[in-house]
Amino acid sequence: AQRVTQPEKLLSVFKGAPVELKCNYSYSGSPELFWYVQYSRQRLQLLLRHISRESIKGFTADLNKGETSFHLKKPFAQEEDSAMYYCALSPTSGTYKYIFGTGTRLKVLA
Amino acid sequence: DTGVSQNPRHKITKRGQNVTFRCDPISEHNRLYWYRQTLGQGPEFLTYFQNEAQLEKSRLLSDRFSAERPKGSFSTLEIQRTEQGDSAMYLCASSLDPRLEQFFGPGTRLTVL
């Protein structure tokens, strides 16, 4: 079955510390993977997608097909990074069903 | 604001009543998704439209739920005979391509008493 797992519900780090938000997926093919972010009182929005291999707001994510992971990383956390982060998978065949993980709340402490 | 809009933003209803939500996607987006989100969970896929055609429905979408997208523009999601378990945030999103980002609306929060 297709699944996205985010094992941490809450991750607290101090400002300036490195951040890694974990995402593992289960999919038989080669999916499209995304990270979405929801800041307080704002709507869900795209942070980055693996096909563009870009860095947004200092965040990067590398797709590891061997480990079926797509962890989100940032070397130095900032207070404004505090938000809810969701990993998402878009299948590339057979279904249009987009699958989201349960999310990780990141708190960056001063 | 040219983003995705949803109305109403909040809806409180009594069990057994029918409710209808509306989503206006970004005008050039031909793909439209509905999701349900409950506390502590990520968005759960409900249904997908490409233009006016409903191409996929989740098994979560019981026969009390129906969605339409007439003329491939706005979409409505109706829940008949609401139950307390239907209380959730209902999200709408639109996109040009499933490989590209989805643009989300602010959601409609439904509370069933």
| CA diameter of chain B | 39
Q: What is the mean pLDDT of chain B?
A: 94
Task: Assess whether pLDDT exceeds 90 at residue B75.
Answer: yes
Q: What is the pLDDT of residue B1?
A: 54
**What value does the mean pLDDT take over residues B56-78?**
92
Strand A19-21 relative to strand A60-64, pairing: unpaired
Which one of A10, A24, A95, A97 makes the best mutation probe of the B interface by having the most chain B beta carbons within 10 Å?
Answer: A97
Which one of B35, B39, B94, B100 makes the best mutation probe of the A interface by having the most chain A beta carbons within 10 Å?
Answer: B100
* Tens digit of each residue's pLDDT (9 = 90 or more) over A4-38: 999 999 999 999 999 999 999 998 888 889 999 99
Q: What is the pLDDT of residue A93?
A: 77
Residues B94, A107: Cα–Cα separation, whole Å: 29
Q: What is the pLDDT of residue A100?
A: 96
Residues A11, A105: Cα–Cα separation, whole Å: 6
**What value does the mean pLDDT take over residues B79-87?**
96
Question: Is cis: bond before B8, omega within 30 of 0?
Answer: yes
Residues B46, B23: Cα–Cα separation, whole Å: 14
* Tens digit of each residue's pLDDT (9 = 90 or more) over A50-88: 877 788 899 999 889 899 999 999 999 999 999 999 999
* B25 near A CB under 8 A: no
Q: What is the pLDDT of residue A97?
A: 84
Strand locations in chain B (E): 5-7, 10-13, 19-24, 31-37, 44-50, 53-57, 65-68, 75-79, 88-95, 103-104, 108-112
Facing residue for A102 by CB, picked from B40, B105, B107: B40
Cβ-Cβ contacts under 8 Å, B45 against chain A: 97-99
A76 token code pair:
């130095």
Question: Pseudo-torsion of CA B20, B21, B26, B27, nearest 10°?
Answer: 20
Residues B8, B105: Cα–Cα separation, whole Å: 11
Q: What is the pLDDT of residue A4?
A: 96
DSSP labels, A26-95 = E-SS--EEEEEEE-TTS--EEEEEGGGT--BTTBEEEEETTTTEEEEEESS--GGG-EEEEEEEE-SSS-
Confidence at B55, pLDDT banded by 50, 70, 90 = very high
**What value does the mean pLDDT take over residues B55-82?**
93
